[in-house]
Structure 1
Amino acid sequence: MKKGIHPEYHQVVFQDSSTGFKFMAGSTVNSDETIKMDDGNTYPLVRVEISSDSHPFYTGREKFTQADGAVDRFNKKYGFTNK
């Protein structure tokens, strides 16, 4: 690998904007905001719109669309028949 062309890899705190949930991960992203964590260290803070704390797939609040009869309703509405 060439030296000096790769971004610095460091610990970053990501915060979910909708729930306030925070988690730390290694990343190359930079931020002007910082946050002091429970361990007494200050880390860069990156705000994200969605995380595992608020995403419906992970929270179990996922809504499944009911496809039962959707094709039949479409065919009936537009005059298609099953042959």
Structure 2
Amino acid sequence: MKKGIHPDYHPVVFQDSATGYKFLSGSTKNAKETIEWEDGKTYPLIRVEISCDSHPFYTGRQKFTQADGRVDRFNKKYGLTSK
């Protein structure tokens, strides 16, 4: 690897904003906030919107939408029934 062209890779704590789940991982991203981790050391804290703790694919709480046609959706929305 060439010297001086790669960003600094360091440990960072990521926190899921929705659930509060935290995990320690390596990253090149810098943060203004810090947090004390379970090992007693202080690490930069990066807040993320979604992680494996809140993502529907990993939690099994997926929403499946029906593949109704336009007419069926219109009828369902406005209370019309087919004869």
TM-score, normalising length: structure 2: 0.79
Identity of aligned residues (%): 70
Alignment length, in residue pairs?
A: 73
What stretches of structure 1 of length at least 5 have no aligned partner? 78-83
What residue number does 1:59 align with? 59
CA distance in 1, matches of 2:72, 2:35: 58
Equivalent AA in structure 2 for residue 66 of structure 1: Q
Match of 2:24, SS state, is: strand
Deviation per residue, 1:22-78 (Å, 9 max, x gap)? 0111110000111001100111100001111111111111011122xx2xx33789x
Shift of the 76–10 alpha-carbon distance from structure 1 to 2, 3 Å rule, reads: closer
The answer to whether residue 11 in structure 2 is matched with residue 11 in structure 1 is yes
Q: Which runs of 5+ in 2 are unaligned?
A: 74-83
Q: Do the aligned partners of residues 76 and 28 (structure 1) sit closer, same or farther apart at CA in structure 2, a change above 3 Å counting?
A: closer
Amino acid across the alignment from 2:70: F
SS state of the match for residue 58, structure 1? helix
> What pairs up with 1:1-83 in 2 under 5 angstroms?
1-67=1-67, 70=68, 73-74=69-70
Distance 1:76 1:64, change over 3 A: closer
Q: SS of the residue aligned with 1:57?
A: helix
Q: C-alpha root-mean-square deviation of aligned residues, in Å?
A: 1.7
